[in-house]
Structure 1
Amino acid sequence: FEIKMGKFKRVCVYCGSKSGNRKIFSDAALDLGRELVERKMNLIYGGGNVGLMGLVAQTVFDGGCEVLGIIPKALVPIEISGQTVGVVAIVGDMHERKAEMARRADAFIALPGGYGTMEELLEMITWSQLGIHEKPVGLLNVDGYYNCLLGLFDKGVEEGFIRPSCRNIVVHAESAKELLQKMEVTLSPFSSLIDHKIKKKENSLKFFTIHAKWQCNS
């Protein structure tokens, strides 16, 4: 049995605190979790244990990989129900949450979700366009959920608001396996430095750990 090692050590997954109206979305979240485990990729996510985010987190944790959730104090009673998954860090506000998730991850993936998920995705695309980071950004387009958004990107290029070279910042696919394969091909030459930088700054975030259980796979 050969263990497949992915090129990213930590993947940030953006997704909804709801599961959607169709089972296909939950299935996609579980499938993404399994693909991360197969590649020995650890998870950075929003810290909740409900909806799609809860499914991804539990799957990755049960598979023996590390799970780090980062959540603002105000959202704890809304997005955490019962026992937490992995390590949960409580931060002051949404800005701190997003900044820490972005800093600690080697790549970003968005599952179907609402305004919050799309806002997080678009922020990472924008940061890439501005040269703030060089990490791959992936969109899991489950059953065409994001077809309209991708069409809007094309419209932005057509109307002169998005540079054609920036249209391909976001990588998209309908399955988790295909998406990760595409993202690994677009790996930044600077990605090998990311984990080193993360470790140097590891103590910058003060953790208020609700439940800590790390399983290291290095």
Structure 2
Amino acid sequence: MPVPGEQNQGARLRAPALYVYGIVPADVEVDGQAQGVGDAGTMRVIRHREIAALVSETDQSAPRPTDRAAHEDLLDATAAEVPVLPLPCGTVVPDRAAVLDGLLKPRHDEFARALRELEGRAEYLVELRYPAQERPREPDVRALVEALAPVSARLSPGRPTGRRDTARLAVLAETHRAGELERALDTLAEGWAGRIELRLFGPLAPYDFMPPG
């Protein structure tokens, strides 16, 4: 999701620029001890009407090797508490005006609507892996979809793993139904014991359910 005003990663920014993690409701407050990609203690929100951008100060113009984990850890922890729309790792803008004019103001209504749809929900990622390193079978994937559909608000193919023996299914579900999701997977796992491994990750930020743009 390109952000107007985002800097070329090959150029050096004057410190401090702003690293933008994602979009949250405007009433969200930031824990003073929250640690993201930027310096400790610099996390804050920039608000515009119903929405806000979760940001921290940074003097980096390009992502470092450790940034992706810090970026995703912060967003996943946020998603467990409040709705969040994640932005790509490495989204850096020069200042507060760029956040407001390039992101929050032009897409306010779209982001506000998406956040309302995510209220009380998070992404859960289900990984289906074949120990014999065979390719995932379509009937097994269909069985997984059918088993999880009753406890899911939406389903989507998950981000590719790069492994030929693994398939992923992204599940958008209400967080209070996480137990039902786990039980549905346990039932499948019993029937697939020794043939297929199932792993569940979440709650996560809804990376696979972002609005287009």
Question: If the TM-score is normalised by the length of the shorter chain, which range does it land in?
Answer: under 0.3
Larger Rg: 2
TM-score computed with the length of structure 1 as normaliser: 0.26
| Structure with higher helix content | 1
TM-score (norm 2): 0.26
